[in-house]
Structure 1
Amino acid sequence: MASKLEVQISVDVLEPQELTPQEQQAMQLAQEAANDAYAPYSNFLVGAALLLEDGSFFKGSNQENAAYPSGLCAERTALFALSAHYPQSKIKLLAVTARRRQEKHFLPAMPCGACRQVMAEYEFRQREPIPVLLQGPDGRFYRFQAVADLLPFQFTPDNL
């Protein structure tokens, strides 16, 4: 007999004034990173900012390439660069936002599947949740308590 497994995910939907000062700073840095994105083909600018355990921040932006599959999303750019330069750093928050080049306002930004899997690897690696703050609709924000909330059935080293 088949059984059913239910997965519940909780996400906080926040007004800008409900963000903590560190979340506000992380989102501001993600917006700055988006403005620096190299996206001449899609004109879709994405920025990510990581808040580290020591209170410092690390940014990444999407990087496109004329050979389309050779580009990289903002989330992975930030995570890979952080790991290459500061491999022992613990991540306390990941913030992501996006905008179209010809527009000033920022859009809801949802990490792609590949980014979610990479984010899950870093969460597994540091053995503690990484909260994720995403630009939501109408100027609001989505706060997930962990990457696992974005990717509940993840592939981890335990699956190997």
Structure 2
Amino acid sequence: MKEIEIKSVLQVYDSFDELPENIQELMHQSMMIRDKAYAPYSEFLVGAAILLENGEVVLGNNQENACYPSGLCAERTAIYYAGANYPDVPVVAMALSAKSLKYKLITPTPPCGACRQAIAEYEQKQDNPIIIYFMGETGKVVKSSSLSNLLPLIFDNSYL
């Protein structure tokens, strides 16, 4: 048996104000769309703002359903919209923000596993990393320079 070590490198900004101006604007858009999420069951709101290479910004938020598997996360809502409407335009960056209606969320909240896999598909398709910024309602912001930092053992088409 052999043991391997996998490392992920992330950058942590102590506050929103430390972000580059264009990312602050992108994060503001994720917050705006987050507050319009349909989350009556979990009361956990998530917003995603995706910056495309052509300058367009695509927004998405979580959409819940009483039949839980039928809902969709903000990240997949946004990236699937981008893929459908801008199929040949690379994704440059994503800004994600989360908020609970039950408590003050100050912990940076990364994408769930299903969203990581969906983002990985687009990162592989465009053969270029997607920068992901994520935060809670307030507080620190985490930056990943590639989805592979969040999902180091990606399942991709090389296995098919």
Give me the TM-score of the superposition, normalised by structure 2: 0.92
Q: Which residue of 1 aligns with 2:81?
A: 81
Q: After alignment, is 64-73 or 2-11 more displaced?
A: 2-11
Q: Which residue of 2 aligns with 1:13?
A: 12
- Structure 1 CA distance for aligned equivalents of residues 8 and 107 of structure 2: 22
- Point out where structure 2 has 5 or more consecutive residues left out of the alignment: none
Does structure 2 conserve the Cα–Cα contact (< 8 Å) formed by 1:99 and 1:107? no
The CA deviation at 1:106 is 6.2
1:27 aligns with 2:27: yes
- Structure 2 CA distance for aligned equivalents of residues 115 and 151 of structure 1: 10
- Structure 2 CA distance for aligned equivalents of residues 149 and 136 of structure 1: 19
Give the aligned CA root-mean-square deviation in angstroms.
Answer: 1.8
Q: In structure 2, give the amino acid aligned to 1:128.
A: N
Does structure 1 conserve the Cα–Cα contact (< 8 Å) formed by 2:98 and 2:136? no
What SS does structure 2 have at the residue aligned with 1:133?
Answer: strand
The CA deviation at 1:49 is 0.6
The CA deviation at 1:40 is 1.2
The CA deviation at 1:7 is 1.2
Q: Which residue of 1 aligns with 2:94?
A: 94
Q: Which residue of 2 aligns with 1:61?
A: 61
- Structure 1 CA distance for aligned equivalents of residues 126 and 26 of structure 2: 20
1:108-149: per-residue Cα shift (whole Å, max 9, x none)?
Answer: 322111000001001001000001101058611000010000
1:66-121: per-residue Cα shift (whole Å, max 9, x none)?
Answer: 11110000000001111111111211101111112366766532211100000100
How many residues end up aligned between the 2 structures?
Answer: 159
1:117 aligns with 2:109: no
- Structure 2 CA distance for aligned equivalents of residues 87 and 8 of structure 1: 32
- Structure 1 CA distance for aligned equivalents of residues 24 and 109 of structure 2: 16
Does structure 2 conserve the Cα–Cα contact (< 8 Å) formed by 1:97 and 1:106? no
Q: After alignment, is 4-13 or 126-135 more displaced?
A: 4-13
The CA deviation at 1:17 is 2.5
Does structure 2 conserve the Cα–Cα contact (< 8 Å) formed by 1:47 and 1:61? yes
- Structure 2 CA distance for aligned equivalents of residues 92 and 74 of structure 1: 17
- Structure 2 CA distance for aligned equivalents of residues 106 and 62 of structure 1: 19
Does structure 2 conserve the Cα–Cα contact (< 8 Å) formed by 1:34 and 1:48? yes
- Point out where structure 1 has 5 or more consecutive residues left out of the alignment: none
- Structure 1 CA distance for aligned equivalents of residues 110 and 92 of structure 2: 19
Give me the TM-score of the superposition, normalised by structure 1: 0.92
Q: After alignment, is 64-73 or 132-141 more displaced?
A: 132-141
Q: Which residue of 2 aligns with 1:4?
A: 3
